[in-house]
Each structure stands twice: as C-alpha cells, then as structure tokens.
Amino acid sequence: MSALTIRGLSKFYPGGVVGLHPTDLTVEGGERLVLLGPSGSGKSTLLRLLIGLETPDAGEILVDGVRIDKLPPHQRGIALVPQRPALFPQMTVQQNLETVLPRPERTLPAAILELLRLGELLRRFPHQLSGGETQRVVLAKLLIRKVSIWLLDEPFSGLDPVFRAKFRQELHLLLGQTSATMLFVTHDPADAWSLGRRVGVLGEGVLHSLSTADELRSRPTTSFVASTFGGFNLFDGGIERLVSPSDPSVESKLVFVSECGSVRIAVPDHSGLRFESTHRLTLGIRPEDVRSGPAEQSAWLLVSAEPAGSGWLLTVAQGRTRLRMEWRSGSPPPVGTPLEWILPPERLHWFDGRTGRRLDV
Ligand code: ADP
Ligand code: MG
C-alpha cells in the first residue's frame, strides 16, 4: 500500500489560465479518495501532473515519502485511467492485456479475468466492446500490472446511466480485491457518495475541503462546497436591523434579506454569529430541510416536481428566485399551485458572501 503526497503542487497554462493553485494533499496507503469538481476545475490537470504527462510550475510529488516528480511516467508506480481510455485497436483484448503482463509471467491471471468477467471478451477487438466493457479491460490491465496507485479520471462519464450504476458496483467489488491506493475524480456527487470515505471538493483549481461525505454535507466549509456537493439552496443577501416602529426601546432584530428581496429570515438570536462585521452573506439550506405546505396567499408558485428517492423534489419560484424542497406527503400538488415554505432556523447555514467561507466554524 503506497501513500501519495503532494506539496505545493501548481500548474498555470499559457495566458495565466489556472490549472491548479498550489495544493497540498495526502492520499493514505490503500485509501479511496474522491475529488469532486465541476468541469474545468482542474481535476484532469492534477491527475496529469501526478502521472507526469504535465510538468508542474512548482511543488513536489512523493510516493511513500520519496520524490517521484522528476521520474518519467512509467517509473512512477502510478497508473492513470483517462476519461476515454484507449486500447491498441489492432490487437484483441487478450493481446492488449498481454502487453502489460510482467515478465516472466506468460499467462493472464485467471482470477482477474474471472473477476472482471473478461473470458468471453478475450478474442474481441476494441471496436467490438461497449464503453463499460472497455473500462473493465482497462481495470484488468491495472490489476495485471500490479500498480499500487490508481488514478481514475471520471471513468463513468462515457457510460449511460444504467451502466454507470452497474459499473460503480463492479468497481466496488474490484476494490475489495485490491489494496491499491486510489484517487478518483468526478463531477458527479453520486460517485463521491458511493466510493469515497473522504471526499475533496475542487473549484477553479483550489481544493476547498477534504472531509467525509457526511461532514461535507452536514457542515460544508464554503458555499461552493454546499452547492457542488450538497445541492443546497443558496441566497446572496445582507443583514438589516429592524427596529420596532411603535416602541424603539424594544431590542432590534436582525433580518437576512436576499438580494431579490423575496427571502426574509429573522436571524436566530442564539446563532452566535457576528453578522455586523460581514456586509454580504450567503444563506444556505438543504432541500430536505425546507418545510412546506399549501397556502392560498403565497407568492411562491410550484414550477416543477421531479421524483427523488421515495418522495419528490419540488422547485418553487417567486419571480426569478427559486427554492428547492423535498416533498414526502404523497403526490405533489399540480404545477402552478401556491406553496408556503419555512426555513427552520437550526437548519440554516451562513457563509461570508465575499469569501464564501462558513461563518460558524
Ligand atoms: P477538469 O478535468 O476538472 O474538467 P481540467 O484540468 O481539464 O479540468 O482544466 C482546468 C483548466 O485548465 C480549464 O480552464 C482548462 O480550460 C484549462 N486547461 C486544461 N488543459 C489545458 C491545456 N493543455 N492548455 C491550456 N489550458 C488548459
Ligand atoms: Mg477532466
């Protein structure tokens, strides 16, 4: 089991395009770490730096404490499964697998062929394989090579959703059979939930957070993490101090008002947050934490209802402001119905509007 460490690793492309800001990260030996980030956030850049297909501007890469960043790719003990893996097109699956057979071995290990159900595919050529079958062959190559560190670059992205779920299961089974260290990058939170004990969130070349999937969702460290990983509702706005017009001696209340003006929430007294030092705020709440109910008077109208798990995910809107909420009490009302909602104070998450940082850390 090999540990992979990077220190201050960075990459900027010509024209100042950010690939990766200086980043520190350790993937422990045998760990399965998932990095989640939208398109263009630097996921492939990081993996290409690790494997040696890209030269860093600064920083170090270490495997088990030994620097490897000056070594050529094939000597690093790291294998990359690219987004669209390629096999030698003129060779059969069997011949492709044999190219990585360590000498002096002569036959492909039966256990690996069985595990990945490759028996029937051995005589086929790459163009006769589906996307999922190609991925299985590529994973078999890693197992046969006995590489100790695997980098997987969105291996599910080329697969249709049905095969994606199936392949995810297969990957789980496979990982049970190997002690390889794995760094897996994806834009799909479902992959992060399913595969990573620890999950990092990457945005514009910055590693925002590294934590368990549960922690990321229950206490996101930035508003970016909240939206990327947790699917939070987020509202930008500011704080107003409300003084009772009838009796100015009554203690004033703090109210969060969203930029659009349509979300107004009394700031809980016990929140312990010093809001007045922050001019701009972002309020976050998860769809499952929003309480809902029908209302004749509400200015918020139901605009869509999609099945989600055992219930529904509803979107209500007032003008251009939208709020997503879960609905578990039977079928949702028809689109166009006015709906009332409540944001329970203890379920609110507050972020600095400028830096995006969580305020109650
Ligand atoms: P991801 O894999 O998360 O989609 P990438 O690492 O591919 O992101 O890209 C990160 C940023 O670097 C993007 O803005 C992308 O346009 C840019 N980029 C990636 N590769 C190159 C390259 N070879 N030359 C210039 N810019 C690049
Ligand atoms: Mg990529």
In a domain, 131, yes or no: yes
Q: Whose CA is nearest to atom 27 of ligand 1?
A: 13
Q: Whose CA is nearest to atom 16 of ligand 1?
A: 40
203 close to ligand 1 (CB < 6 Angstrom): no
Residues 66, 141, 188, CA angle at the centre, nearest 5°? Answer: 80
Nearest-10 Cα torsion for 208, 211, 214, 216? -20
Cis peptide before 104 (omega within 30 of 0): yes
Q: Whose CA is nearest to atom 17 of ligand 1?
A: 19
What would the pLDDT profile of 56-109 be if each residue is shown by its tens digit? 999 999 999 999 999 999 899 999 988 888 899 999 999 999 999 988 888 898
pLDDT of residue 310: 84
Q: pLDDT tens string for the chain (361 positions)?
A: 899 999 999 999 999 899 999 999 999 999 999 999 999 999 999 999 999 999 999 999 999 999 999 999 989 999 998 888 889 999 999 999 999 998 888 889 888 888 888 999 999 999 999 888 888 899 889 888 888 899 999 988 777 777 777 778 878 877 777 888 999 999 988 888 888 789 999 999 999 889 998 898 899 999 999 998 888 999 999 888 766 666 666 666 788 899 988 899 887 766 666 665 567 899 999 999 999 877 778 889 999 999 988 899 999 999 889 999 999 888 999 999 999 999 998 899 999 999 999 987 6
Q: Are residues 255 and 207 in the same domain?
A: no
Domain final residue pick, 166, 197, 220: 220
36 CA to middle of ligand 2, Å?
Answer: 11
13 close to ligand 1 (CB < 6 Angstrom): yes
Q: Are 148 and 2 in contact (CB under 8 A)?
A: yes
How is 226-266 classified by DSSP, letter by letter?
HHHHH--EEEEEEEEEE--SS-TTSPPEEEEEETTS--EEE
Q: Are residues 165 and 260 in the same domain?
A: no
In a domain, 226, yes or no: no
pTM (two decimals): 0.85
In a domain, 295, yes or no: yes
Domain limits for position 348: 233-352
Q: Are residues 183 and 328 in the same domain?
A: no
**Which residue(s) pair with 322 in the sheet?**
317
266 close to ligand 1 (CB < 6 Angstrom): no
Q: Are 58 and 8 in contact (CB under 8 A)?
A: yes
**Domains contained in the chain, number:** 2
- CB proximity list for 306: less than 8 A, separation 6 or greater: 312, 313
CATH code, domain with 286: 2.40.50.140
In a domain, 361, yes or no: no
Which residue, chain included where needed, has tokens 């999609």? 306
157 CA to middle of ligand 2, Å?
Answer: 10
CATH code, domain with 158: 3.40.50.300
Q: Are residues 114 and 140 in the same domain?
A: yes
Q: Whose CA is nearest to atom 1 of ligand 1?
A: 40
- Helix, strand or coil, per DSSP, at residue 263: coil
Question: Residue 294 is encoded by which pair of tokens?
Answer: 């029908």
Can you tell me which atom of ligand 1 is nearest the CA of 20?
10
Residue type, 15: G
Q: Are residues 172 and 285 in the same domain?
A: no
In a domain, 34, yes or no: yes
Q: Are residues 157 and 38 in the same domain?
A: yes
Q: Are 102 and 146 in contact (CB under 8 A)?
A: yes
6 CA to middle of ligand 1, Å?
Answer: 19
